Amino acid sequence: MPIPRIVAVRHPKEKRSKCSLLPLEEWEGTFFHRAKPGFSFDGTGFLLLAPGAPVISPADGLLDLAEEGAFCGDRAHYLVRDEAGRALRPLLLLDSTWRLLPGMRRMIEGLPLERSLPVGIRTAYPRVSKMTEDPDCGLATIEALYAALRIMGSDCPALLDGYLWKDAFLAQFGQ
């Protein structure tokens, strides 16, 4: 199955050099935005990973006909279709520390489909926060992206090619 479009909104305080999504900036079908003051993004129809939301399922990977209508005109470039002609739901990622995430979420307008990842997926990233404690379920953004796509039916380990902890992370999926 092809990969849906990916939009990443990065907090302006996030260091680009430490961003796990950096290698994807060159991938076709990925879009990156800086969440500077005044920034907003219409997330209608996108899947937005959000802690505490219902758990993502394979059915979340496809848009229904009514949802496809949100991707016409200047938003048509966010649609990708699978081999059967079905529209894949694009993903919207908020790339920030856990502490800054609520402010980032307020920048997203419209009605994204909020989903969380299943409990049990563990990060391979060696976390060290001097300001706050990360939640046990916290993942590097690239890890969360890979897991979400895999559940939605687009398994693409190549997304992790530039990720230093790729092998350790994939080991939990039997790869």
| Spatial separation of the C-alpha atoms in residues 67 and 175, rounded to whole Å | 34
pLDDT band at residue 75, thresholds of 50, 70 and 90? very high
| The total number of residues written for the chain in this structure | 175
| Spatial separation of the C-alpha atoms in residues 47 and 60, rounded to whole Å | 8
| Spatial separation of the C-alpha atoms in residues 105 and 41, rounded to whole Å | 10
pLDDT for position 17: 58
Q: What mean pLDDT is predicted for residues 7-25?
A: 72
Give the chain's mean pLDDT: 83
Interacting residues of 136 by C-beta distance below 8 A, sequence separation 6+: none
pLDDT tens profile 23-60: 677 788 889 888 888 899 999 999 999 888 999 999 99
40 C-beta neighbours (distance < 10 Å), count: 13
- pTM of the complete model: 0.85
Number of H helices, E strands in the chain: 4, 9
pLDDT tens profile 80-135: 999 999 999 999 998 876 677 677 788 999 999 999 988 878 776 555 545 545 44
The CA–CA distances, whole Å, from 131 to 99, 127, 134 equal 9, 12, 10
